[in-house]
Each structure stands twice: as C-alpha cells, then as structure tokens.
Amino acid sequence: MILSFWRYSHLALAVSSFIFILIASLTGIILAVEPVSNQLEVGLASEATSEVSLAQTLAALSNRYDEVLSVAVDENDLVKATVIDENGDFSEFYINPLTGEKTADLIESAPIYQFATNLHRSLFLKSIGRFFVGLASLLLFFISVSGIALIIRRQQGIKRFFARVLRDNFFQYYHVYLGRLSLIPIVIITLTGVYLSLLRFEVIPATSLSHDVDYENIQAEPKLATADFPIFNDIKLDELRTLEFPFSDDVEDYYLVSLQSKEVLVNQFTGEVLSELKYPFVDIASRWSIDLHTGRGSIFWSVILGLASISTLFFIYSGFAMTLRRRASRIKNKYKKNQAKYIILVGSESGSTIRFATILHQQLLAAGQKSYLAEMNRYSEFKKMEHLIVFAATYGVGEPPANAKKFEKRFTKFSSKNPYSFSVVGFGSLAYSNFCQYAFDVDKLLQTDSKAHRMLEPYTINNRSWEAFNQWVNQWGEHVGLDISVPQENPITQKRKKKQSFEVIEKTEACDSPDDTFTVTLKTDSFKFQSGDLLAVYPNDETHERLYSIGLNNRGEILLSIKRHSQGLCSNYINDLKVGEKLQASIVKNRDFHFPKRARKVLMISTGTGIAPFLGMMNHNHKKIETELMWGGRNEASFELYKEVIEGNLSRGYLSKYAPAYSRAQAEKLYVQHLVKRDAEQIAALLKAKGVIMICGSIAMQKEVTATLDIICRKANKKPLSYYQNKGQLKMDCY
C-alpha cells in the first residue's frame, strides 16, 4: 500500500506537470550553456581580488575618465565600470581594476538565450506563465520527494540508498541510478525556482533598506580626495557588489556602496560613513537562489545544472515508457468470476507477470475453457473454481508485489466451498537472495486450505524466461488434461536480438569425453562481448534459442563448454557442427556477471560446463587479481577438457589456486559446497575484505553453495549472505 501511494503520487504529479517540466528541462539545458560560454568569452578580463582596494580602482579610473558613474563586480567576479569618456559618450565595459584600462566589452545575451530565458521564466505568457512555471517547479520538487521514497523502498532501506542497484530492466535501472545522482541538483533547482516565483509574486516580500541619514548635520569639510577615503581603502574589490556615484555635487548626495552583506552610504566630500545597514536574510537568500538556479558565475555548477536537466528529460521518457508497459498489461475478462472453472491470480509490480498470465488466460479461452484472470488483491470466493493458478512475482526482501499485499487477508476471509486444485508459479530473479520467496509463501498458504489440492510443486521462473514458462504450461496442461501450449515465439520480449554468423574454428567431440561434454571455439568480426556474457544460439529455426555462458580465449575468441543431452536440440546441433561451419547466434549482455575490475580477491565456484566463463575471466586477469577456482566434476578425466587452460593460467599467475571437488574420485562424494565449508574461515575473511564470489553452474549446486555461504557469513561475520550480495560481492549465473 505504501509503495502504491508513492508510486501513484509520483506518476500523477509527473503526468500533471509533464509539459511544463519538459519545456523547463529543454530550456534549462540551453540556459546552462550561457554561463559557461560567458565565462569562456570574458576569460581574459580581470577578476576582482582581495589584493586591490576600491580606492585604488577609483584613483585609476579618475585618471582616465572625465566622469565615472558606477563600478561593479559581476557574478563572474569581473570588474566593470560605467563612465562618460572624453567625447561625452556613455559607455560600460570590463576594466583592469589596477589601471582602469578597458579589458573587454560587456557580453550581450545571444537571442537564443533571451528566447530560452523568456520561455523558461514565463512561457511568453507574462504573469500567468510565471505562475505555471513556479507551480511546475513545486510539482517537480514533490516528484523528487516521492522518487526518494520509491528509491528507499526499492533499495530496501534508507541506509542502502546509495548501495548498488540490481538491474531489472533498462528503464527501471537508469531511472533509479540517474535519479540518485541528480537528486540533489534537482531538489536545489526546484526549491530555488519556487523561491524565486514566490519572490516575484511578492508572497515573500521584496526588501529595501531604509537608511536613516542625519541630513541636518552633514558636513562638506574636511574635504578628502576619493582615493583617500578610509572606507574605500578598507573595502577590497572581492567584497564589492556595486558602487554608485553621487548624482550631483550637493552635500546630501552620497556614494551608495553595496557590499556582499551590507549597504553603506558615504559622504562624497569627507568620506564619512553616513549610514550602514546589513542586508536582510531575504536578500541574501535571493542572491543565492539566483546563483544556484542559473549557475551564473560557476562553470562547474552550470554543467551540473545542464546534466540535471538532461536527466530530467530521461526521467520523463523512461517514466512514461514504464507506465505504458504497465498499462499494456491491463486485465480483460470474457466471463464473470463466478462462471469460470479456471481462476488465474496474478501478483505483479511492474506488469510483466500479468502479461504471462494473460497469455495462459488467452490460451484457455482459445481452448474453449472458462477462464477468469484477476489481481491477487481481488481474491474472493469463486463459485465454479476447479483450478486455481497463481502467478506471483517477488519484490522487496522476498515480499509480495503491490497488487498482492492484501491476498493473505482475503484468502483467510473468503473460503472456497468446493474442492479445487492449485499450482503456483513464481516469477523472480536469481540476482536476489530470496529467489521467488513470495511464490513459496503463497504455496504454503494455499496448502492450509482443506479444500485445496496441490497439483504441481511451486515452479520458479528466472528473469521472465520464456523457455521455462513454456515448459511449465506444457507440464500443467498435461496434468489438467488440456492440450494447450504457448506461442513458440516470445511475444513479451518481441525485441529481437541482432543475430550474426559465428564460425567454428576449434572443437572437441562430446563422444571423446566421459561426461558427454565438449568445447567449441567460435569467431566473429563485429560483436563486442566479455567473459560472462551469454551467447543465444538458434539451432535451426528462428524461434528456439539456447543460452550459453561465454568465456574468451587468449585470442579474444568465444569459448563455450557444452554438455550434450541425448534429446537436446541445441547441444546436438552444435556438437554436429564441423570446423569451418557457421552458426547463427547473438550476444546477450550479462553485466552483473562480469569479472570485477577492482576486487582484491575473487573466488569462482562452478560445476561442469559452468566453468566456461571462468576460463575466459582467468585468461584475461592481466592485473593478476588473486583468484581461486573451485570446480566440481566427476573425476580427473572430466577435468582433461580444461586442464591446459587452467595449468597455463596457474603458471602465468592469472589463477592463484585451483581446488577441485571430484565427486566420484573417492568413496565419499565430494562436492563444491564441501570445499566452501572446509574453507569457511578464508571465505568469511574474503567477503570482509571486499572480495567477490562468483557462482556459475546448476541451480541445485547454487542452492547448496549459497546455503553454506549464508551459514558461514552469519556465523563468522554476523551478517547474512544477502548483505554481501546487495553490495555486489556475490555474482551468480546459474541455470
């Protein structure tokens, strides 16, 4: 519920103000360039410093010009003067404060900046426009606040606000990632924008100082030369905002000196201070607001403001892309809830699970079955229900998604009168330590109903795998006696990966290996990839793909290790390829499973063909990061396939240690989790010292190893394994 509130607020605010924010961001980008170009343009003009006094500058100016009207220091700290020259002409320019010499003309704002300024400030609509711009600024501030709440929730706590973001999909990832980076500038831009609007509409009253001068007793004697006024000798140029000269020779007219924090009136003949008043807070705050909002005077801050504006454009785009994706997964039903025999309930946060559920729902309808699809929060009594199917994603720390939070309560409230069968499918990601936890919780809950009969064990689907979903539908169809199947081509991730030919340049034969395993080396020209990325191979048609973990050999070619399954379409297809032949495949980036660039120590754990990415990683461990490989296979003979690479890397120092766990080499079975347990102390120390553990291989092995690691972490380091996983110290790619 909490999440929904923030999410809907975030979205509603964004929708209601998006046009204004779009205009403000676009013009903001243009306006951020102006202070930078101004500073570069007047780069040679002299700066005001604490070395030069106002008196020195005034003396220099009076030697050069007939009449001086004012001296000012601008936001770039450059000194400018307004003078009347020998021809009686009025001019304003930058000066050298020591000589009074003109150094540069004043910069005129280019038409593009004037246009952008007007649009940015008032949309060319004067007061009404200014009002909407101010309001949009306030709304953007609230969007930022609701965004902070969403990030805290997503990152599982305020303390983890800046912890690594686990990558779910492109838009979500960068929305969060950039959101955190640009948060502070955006909050500053919005608050200062609101402040300036309040000032403009006099909600915050503008201040003017009211000096109390004793005109009765003003003296014109003793007369001093301006350059000898003690106050002008005391004022250094870096303290000055402006100095306005007296209008006339009347003794009542004075010098008006604006300093950074106060305003001073100075007798034009004697140099006596007539009045001195500090600026009120509103004035100081206004100057700060203008500087912070416009970036004037600071190239660094202008660049930050420009980047924040660009990020805002990305937030608009990615935010709407995510929303459209969610809306695309709205639920439609043909039958009423009490008419349907098949009830499909779905728990989904960002909508993808709804799309899987919809596909099953449509297949059932196409097969002439009465199916009803609903969100888990809408659970109630379904009078004709015979089969309940729950598709549940997991969020937070093994928690239900937003539209399933009320499920438990409703499930205990509404009980079914008739017996029914149920099957739970969990949607999650192995990148999280509580893989599909919520689906298991739902399965447990359903088992408490005496009318319910569990037809299938909970089935888990990692990263929206279409293949896994396909398999489950077939399995479930068989159990309920329905001939249904899902489309072969994944309609959810329609975006096709770019395919290319890969040439086989080396290969071993599965039949020569005791484990029916072989390696194949492939070459391609243009794809960029790293060890740990995946190769999606298409055996004979476009629809079936199989993913293999890539290792790079010394020449930068792809090395795959594949176990041939007797019925395996893809493994047999690759095994039958001859050197020189080509296969169609594409690269799938797997950024979360790349070799860490900065870790002090790395422990690689794998079984069977899961060794492939690690072979590649060690081949390219040029920095010689201390790296150990634990590998589980049947016996020494299984190791033969990889022996040359491993021994070569051990002797080069690219691999520090190789620890095998041969399950069948001795009477008692030895698995990698036993090695992990044996080396518990070193592993706990490795994690403490910011080392990284990488796991690749079967899911069964992954479960055993992570359970053992969790015990070690809790015992030795008093922290769960998820603590290290969240810090990016545990990387997994299991299948």
Ligand X SMILES: Cc1cc2nc3c(=O)[nH]c(=O)nc-3n(C[C@H](O)[C@H](O)[C@H](O)COP(=O)(O)O)c2cc1C
User: Any residues with CB less than 8 A from the CB of 117 and at least 6 apart, and which?
Assistant: 27, 31, 109
- Is the CA virtual torsion 281, 286, 291, 296 positive or negative? negative
Residue 178 Cβ, how far from ligand X at the closest point, in Å? Answer: 16
Which amino acid is located at 446 in the chain?
Answer: L
Residue span 154-183 as binding mask against ligand X, x where in contact by CB under 6 A, dash where not? x-------------x---------------
CA distance 71 to 46: 14
Q: Does 458 bind ligand X (CB under 6 A)?
A: no
User: Closest separation between CB of residue 360 and ligand X, Å?
Assistant: 14
**Cβ of residue 362: shortest distance to ligand X, in angstroms?**
17
Q: Looking at 398, 532, 551, 660, which residue binds ligand X (CB under 6 A)? A: 398
459 sits near ligand X (criterion: CB under 6 A): no
Say whether residue 394 binds ligand X (CB under 6 A): yes
Residue 706 makes contact with ligand X by CB under 6 A: no
Minimum gap (Å) between residue 534 Cβ and ligand X: 17
Q: Does 628 bind ligand X (CB under 6 A)?
A: no
The 8 Å CB, 24+ separation contacts for 712-715 are: 712/676, 712/677, 712/680, 712/683, 712/684, 713/684, 713/687, 715/680, 715/684
Residue 173 beta carbon to ligand X: minimum distance, rounded to whole angstroms: 9
**In residues, how long is the chain?**
735
Cα maximum dimension of the chain: 114
The smaller minimum CB distance to ligand X, of residues 171 and 254, is found at 171
* 3-class DSSP state of 96: coil
Q: Which helix (H) or strand (E) holds 561?
A: strand 558-563
By beta-carbon proximity to ligand X, the closer residue of 4 and 554 is: 4
Residue with Cβ nearer ligand X (167 or 594):
167
393 belongs to the binding site for ligand X (CB under 6 A):
yes
Please identify the residue of the shown chain whose CB is closest to the bound ligand X. Answer: 428
Query: According to the binding rule CB under 6 A, does residue 151 interact with ligand X?
Result: no
In the three-class reduction of DSSP (H, G, I as helix; E, B as strand; rest coil), residue 168 is classed as: coil
Nearer Cβ to ligand X (65/593): 593
For residue 312, the minimal CB distance to ligand X (Å) is: 22
Nearest-10 crossing angle of helices 126-154, 111-122: 80
Q: How far is the CB of 154 from ligand X (least distance, A)?
A: 4
Q: Of 425-433, 450-458, 542-550, 695-703, which segment contacts ligand X by CB under 6 A? A: 425-433
Burial tier of 586 (Cβ tally within 10 Å: 0-12, 13-18, 19+):
middle
Report how far apart, in Å, the C-alpha atoms of 208 and of each of 205, 252, 258 are: 10, 20, 12
Type of residue numbered 288: W
Beta carbons within 8 Å of 605's beta carbon, 6+ residues apart: 630, 672, 676, 693, 694, 695, 696, 697, 705
| Residue 465 interacting with ligand X (CB under 6 A) | no
Please identify which residue in 179, 306, 400, 428 interacts with ligand X, judged by CB under 6 A: 428
- Does 377 engage in binding with ligand X (CB under 6 A)? no
Write the interaction track for ligand X spanning residues 329-368; mark x where CB under 6 A is met and - where it is not: -------------------xxxxxx---------------
Q: Which helix (H) or strand (E) holds 38?
A: helix 2-41
CA distances from 59 to 87, 244, 250, 553 (A): 21, 15, 21, 76
472 is an interface residue for ligand X by CB under 6 A? no
Between 396 and 648, name the residue whose CB sits nearer to ligand X: 396
Smallest separation (angstroms) from ligand X to the CB of 150: 10
* The one among 432, 469, 642, 654 contacting ligand X by CB under 6 A: 432
Phi then psi dihedrals of residue 399, to 5 deg: -105, 165
The H or E element that residue 69 is part of is: strand 67-73
Among 372, 395, 407, 502, binds ligand X (CB under 6 A): 395
- Residue 710 binds ligand X (CB under 6 A): no
Q: Where do contacts with ligand X occur on this chain (CB under 6 A)?
A: 154, 168, 348-353, 393-398, 401, 427-429, 432, 434-437, 464
